[in-house]
Amino acid sequence: MKDLLLITPPFTQLNTPYPGTAYLKGFLNTKSIDAFQMDLGIEVILELFTKSTFKEIFELAFENNRIQTENCQRIYALKEHYLQSLDDIILFLQGKNQTFARQICTNGFLPQASRFEQLDDMDWAFGSMGNQDKAKHLSTLYIEDLSDFIVECIDPDFGFSRYAERLGQSANSFDELYENLQDDSTFIDQITLEILDAQIKETQPKLICFSVPFPGNLYSAFRCAQFIKSNYPEIKIAMGGGFPNTELRSVNDVRVFEFFDFITLDDGELPIELLYNVVLKNETSFKRTFLLENGSIVYKNNSTAPDYKQQDVGTPDYSDLLLDRYISVIEIANPMHSLWSDGRWNKLTMAHGCYWGKCTFCDISLDYIKIYEPVAASLLVDRMETLIEQTGETGFHFVDEAAPPSLMKALALEIIKRNLSVTWWTNIRFEKNFTQDLCVLLKASGCIAVSGGLEVASDRLLALIDKGVTVEQVAQVTRNFTEANIMVHSYLMYGYPTQTVQETVDSLEMVRQLFEVGILQSGFWHQFALTAHSPVGLNPEEYGISPNYKNITFANNDVDFTDSTGIDHAQFSFGLKKSLFNFMHGIGFEIPLQDWFEFDIPETDIDPDFIYNCLAQEPVFNIKPTAKIAWLGTFPLVHEFSKTKKGHKNDFMEITFHDTLETFQITTEKEKGNWLLDTLEQITPQNKPQSFKQLKVSFETHFEDFELFWYSKPIHVLRNHGLLVL
């Protein structure tokens, strides 16, 4: 028995659990509150994609005369081939039965439907992959074919990372979702509810909390809540997470509370602790909670207790989740999307909220963005070590809005100090503090990728967005990451208020050049969406748009609007995405921008060498006295020798270093060499990096003119091999 059951409803990701319930369970552990968590999505997928279930699916589709398209007819005709291999394919995608890869790669082994039509393009674009990756990609196409069969013949709302998403998107009224919930359960629902029922019987919770991060989780959350109300009326039900936090802040349809007893907003730790006290101890304090009272919806925030600081919320706890049964797929069209879907990542947060908190398209008025609170690097690495021990996984995805450079630096130094071997990636702003040396440090600590918003690659619009960067700065920062072998993904935006056709074309040209010079490896275009809680949504007249407000009784976030320019920005979607697909594969740079579109566009006003020239600036040699100096390299072999000139004997050192790629040498005077060797040992992450001023004082205690020594050839060599200015 458990007091609380924490559930992520279908569907989020195949390869790794969404972290909401793990964060909550980690916090509840600190309060000695018994909780069990489940990712209902992966459990439904694992039950759905089995030989026995798919045999039933094929029979249902045939009996109901749903097999209409040529693609589904082909899949049905090959059903025995699918049934024979399905269980083994899922095992392989779970990281088991790896020798099966050679069989999967055998031509003609897997049945192939429409998803495999892209194979020729993939081979051309990506060249030859290793057997394991190729087999994983082929297996991904195979299960996507079966997913298409489900959508066409069984349930049109099915999707691997979402379910009935249309019912949650811009659902200003509860009517459509409510009507769907009056219909009979779908085939997917039945699987979902059977698994849920078994878990409730085993756990016997008093309170069930649904974490609903996205619109694609909403329908299933309501369907599950409906089932619980019908079959276990004594159990109280709460909903929290990203969707209610952004969409349900003004909910006023009482029918919602036929399904849920409570809806909590923003950080969930204190609201859930108080709900536990309400349900199990009959207390009456609430934090940011909607509930039904005397037939009306009320918002209760009567607790005087402050929210918990990040240092006090505990380490995320992934126990109970089926970590060894997640499915790793390879959707290789986009390198960053491959990171999201391939492999299982422990999720952590470096800081609550966003340290920048100014972007005008973002929900910066809401607490999850507005309240910025970083976590100490030492505590972060403590949590990483705890999760490694618990999960056996050394990969980490820091899910920050934008990870702060200073904290990333401290984190990297702490990881190196503890000799941890980890792999990690996160989201950033392309700001100037990401110097070449900081990027080298991040790479040395295990950072393999960053994603960040370039948004509209136009300095006028970046200023209007209040992004705090310029295109030139983005180019220099992405170059720094790329040269450190850290992959860079950029979020790209079109259709921002007042954006002209010329600016869209010029933005595409900037993106083309960034890929052509090799400093961007991945990107994704999305059309601007107006949200109610962003500065644009709160002050639309300042941005030249007219919102088309609707009567809100349920969800309130995305807002339709009319742009004063009158431009149909949606027409650019296909051309922008097609060109980007080619640029990501290193081709199409010579194709005129006009050729990506089926309508006339103006010629770009951007100089064809704009990005190249941004990168050609002379380096700045000025170093702040407070800059930290760190040595990441190994300790050298030393050979002393002397030279006599005009009867005067001079002692020298030949110092030989080895790194993972090469051997290199420097030669210096013996006394300065001894100082240098002592200093290198002192400024490793295992000891403590020192400031430039501290090194100068130390050097000039024994010698003269530290700057002359610092800019000498030996130090220049070391600066290229792990002597960092941070």
CATH topology of domain 4-41+163-310: Rossmann fold (3.40.50)
Dihedral over Cα of 279, 283, 287, 291: its sign: positive
Residue with tokens 């989780």: 217
Please choose, from the candidates 22, 12, 72, the residue with its C-alpha nearest in 3D space to the C-alpha of residue 44. 12
| Confidence band, pLDDT 50/70/90 cuts, at residue 332 | low
Residue 126 has pLDDT above 60, yes or no: no
| Confidence band, pLDDT 50/70/90 cuts, at residue 556 | confident
Helix (H) or strand (E) holding 504: helix 501-516
Residue 351 has pLDDT above 70, yes or no: yes
Q: The tokens of 241 are what?
A: 């997470």
What average pLDDT does the segment 505-528 reach?
A: 96
Residue 124 has pLDDT above 60, yes or no: no
Where exactly are the structural domains of the chain? 4-41+163-310, 67-153, 333-614, 628-725
Residue 336 has pLDDT above 80, yes or no: no
Give pLDDT, residue 125.
Answer: 47
What average pLDDT does the segment 395-399 reach?
A: 96
Distance CA 13, CA 16 (A): 6
SS3 643: strand
Topology alike, domains 4-41+163-310 and 333-614: no
Q: The tokens of 312 are what?
A: 């006090």
Distance CA 658, CA 656 (A): 7
CATH topology of domain 333-614: pyruvate-formate lyase- activating enzyme (3.80.30)
Distance CA 535, CA 543 (A): 9
| Confidence band, pLDDT 50/70/90 cuts, at residue 172 | confident
Q: DSSP character for 547?
A: E
pLDDT above 90: percentage of residues in the chain: 83
Give pLDDT, residue 267.
Answer: 96
Residue 287 has pLDDT above 50, yes or no: yes
Q: The tokens of 38 are what?
A: 């489940």
| Confidence band, pLDDT 50/70/90 cuts, at residue 309 | very high
Q: DSSP character for 309?
A: P
What average pLDDT does the segment 574-581 reach?
A: 94
Separation of first and last alpha carbons in the chain: 52
pLDDT in tens, 231-269: 999 999 999 999 999 999 999 999 999 999 999 999 999
- Confirm if 54 and 124 have CB atoms less than 8 A apart: no
Residue 167 has pLDDT above 90, yes or no: no
Residue 333 has pLDDT above 90, yes or no: no
| Confidence band, pLDDT 50/70/90 cuts, at residue 655 | very high
Residue 444 has pLDDT above 70, yes or no: yes
Residue 480 has pLDDT above 60, yes or no: yes
Distance CA 285, CA 302 (A): 6
* CA angle (211 as vertex; 527, 343 as ends), nearest 5: 70
Alpha helix ranges (H) inside 350-491? 367-370, 377-391, 405-417, 436-444, 459-465, 471-483
Q: The tokens of 514 are what?
A: 């960034």
Lowest-confidence segment of 330-334, 541-545, 653-657 by average pLDDT: 330-334
Residue 602 has pLDDT above 50, yes or no: yes
Q: Which residues of 700-716 are buried (b: 16+ CB within 10 A; e: fewer)?
A: eeeeeebeebbeeebee
